[in-house]
Amino acid sequence: MLLTPPARHGPIGVFDSGLGGLSVWREIVQLMPQEPTLYLADQAHAPYGPQPREQVEARTHRAVAWLLEQGAKLVVIACNTASAAALESLRARWPHIPIVGMEPAVKPATQATRTGHVGVLATAGALHAPRFSRLVERFANGVRVHTVVGEGLVEMIEKGQWQGPEVESHLQKLLAPLQAIPIDHLVLGCTHFPFLALALTHVLGPDVRLVNPAPAVARQTQRMVWAHDLARPEHTEPGPWRFVTTGPVKPFRELVHQLVAPQLATISRPLSFEHLSHL
């Protein structure tokens, strides 16, 4: 077990079951382009959403242990399902490492709604977790929170499908129960889903606001970097942004480039890609 304080020149570790965490990673690098990052995708074992909580918790612990072995100074669990299953036990196991997690943005949506109805689109794992019921109990405040399991959506994105007629017709079916309800906010409770923004707006119309917590999570990460005095020392080389997957590297590399192309166009840094065979 790592007990020494993390080194400031180490990377910010970002973990997800697959590509979804890139919706958080892209916000982190916009805010802190000077920081080294190490992104780990457990694609060989994705999707996490339908798996038992204990299994997701165990895989998340292995992922964090690996990130720390690689020198990560702070870890972002850029996955709602993994955060719901493991955040508390991770923080108990590594109390000296700042660990940032995700939770569906129920609070801002219920505060902003005018119709009194909000939707939450997330995985089964995230919606069925006690953490989610506690969140709704705490923040619903009379607002009706309608949940929809995003069955099949993570798999589509992992295959490179996030827009077009097939994606929209799948969304249409999933979101049909919400169409009769006047929701004015849809909380994206899975980090993969911001990549569906265009398709979701086509299906739901422009009046439903999509609530993506990733920018707030990136700001929280930056606050933690400052609060723990973990900013990269200026004299050290940040090195390439590292991307590691437990799945095949070639499609991973291609999809990462496609998904974060706008960010890569504005900040130019080398990217490196690797396969991790045992996690």
Active site residues: 79, 190
Tokens of 251: 């499609």
b/e per residue 220-249 (b: at least 16 CB within 10 A): ebbebbeebebebeeeeeeeebbbbbbbee
The piece of 43-51, 131-139, 222-230, 237-245 that touches ligand DGL (CB under 6 A) is: 43-51
User: Residue from 43, 110, 123, 222 that binds ligand DGL (CB under 6 A)?
Assistant: 123
16 binds ligand DGL (CB under 6 A): yes
154 binds ligand DGL (CB under 6 A): yes
190 binds ligand DGL (CB under 6 A): yes
CA 228 to chain centre: 22
How far is residue 159 from each of residues 27, 156, 167, measured CA to CA in Å? 23, 5, 12
User: Residue from 10, 36, 47, 104 that binds ligand DGL (CB under 6 A)?
Assistant: 47
Tokens of 35: 């920081």
Minimum separation from the CB atom of position 120 to ligand DGL (A) = 12
User: Residue from 6, 13, 20, 194 that binds ligand DGL (CB under 6 A)?
Assistant: 20
Minimum separation from the CB atom of position 190 to ligand DGL (A) = 4
3-state secondary structure of 242: strand
Dihedral-angle region of residue 109 (phi above 0 means left; psi in -120 to 50 means alpha; beta otherwise): alpha
Measured between alpha carbons, how far is 19 from 196 in angstroms, rounded to an integer?
13
110 binds ligand DGL (CB under 6 A): no
User: Residue from 14, 29, 40, 46 that binds ligand DGL (CB under 6 A)?
Assistant: 46
Tell me, what DSSP letter sits at residue 76?
A: E
What is the torsion angle, in degrees rounded to the nearest 10, for the CA atoms of residue 28, residue 32, residue 38 and residue 42? Answer: 0
Residues in region 67-106 near ligand DGL by CB under 6 A: 79-81
Minimum separation from the CB atom of position 238 to ligand DGL (A) = 26
17 binds ligand DGL (CB under 6 A): yes
How far is residue 37 from each of residues 22, 225, 239, 278, measured CA to CA in Å? 12, 13, 9, 21
Nearer to ligand DGL, 11 or 125 (CB): 125
Minimum separation from the CB atom of position 165 to ligand DGL (A) = 23
Minimum separation from the CB atom of position 24 to ligand DGL (A) = 9
Measured between alpha carbons, how far is 68 from 70 in angstroms, rounded to an integer?
5
The piece of 1-9, 46-54, 88-96, 269-277 that touches ligand DGL (CB under 6 A) is: 46-54
194 binds ligand DGL (CB under 6 A): no
Residue 243's beta-bridge partner residues? 39, 273
Interface residue list for ligand DGL (CB under 6 A): 16-18, 20, 46-49, 79-81, 123, 126, 154, 190-192
